[in-house]
Amino acid sequence: MWTIRYTDQALRDLRGIDSVVGRRILDFMDKRVARLRDPRQIGERLHGKLGTYWRFRIGDYRAICEVKDELVTVIVIAIGHRREIYR
């Protein structure tokens, strides 16, 4: 099982989102991503300057994450609406 950690930025992003959507994002990360053998199964690698990160789609929102195999940890870097997150 993977550990999910949130950066300060990701926690600020969550506070700015509607509470129902925020709960959905937290549930997705804890109940879907954390329980996978490899979280990359449902994620997608980003391209360009963000190429070291992975994104997870949660409805219209995206979680930008770093997957640390050696720590068995997914670090959520940022969370935002799909039209704004990549800017």
Give the whole-angstrom CA distance, residue 65 versus residue 46.
10
Give the whole-angstrom CA distance, residue 29 versus residue 73.
12
Which pLDDT does position 86 carry in this prediction? 79
> Domains plus CATH for the chain?
3-81 (3.30.2310.20)
Q: How would residue 87 be classed by pLDDT, with cut points 50, 70 and 90?
A: confident
Which pLDDT does position 64 carry in this prediction? 97
Which pLDDT does position 36 carry in this prediction? 94
Query: How many Å separate Cα 23 from the centre of its chain?
Result: 13
| pLDDT tens string 20-74 | 999 999 999 999 999 999 999 999 999 998 899 999 999 999 999 999 999 999 9
Backbone angles phi, psi at 52, to 5 degrees: -85, -5
Which pLDDT does position 21 carry in this prediction? 95
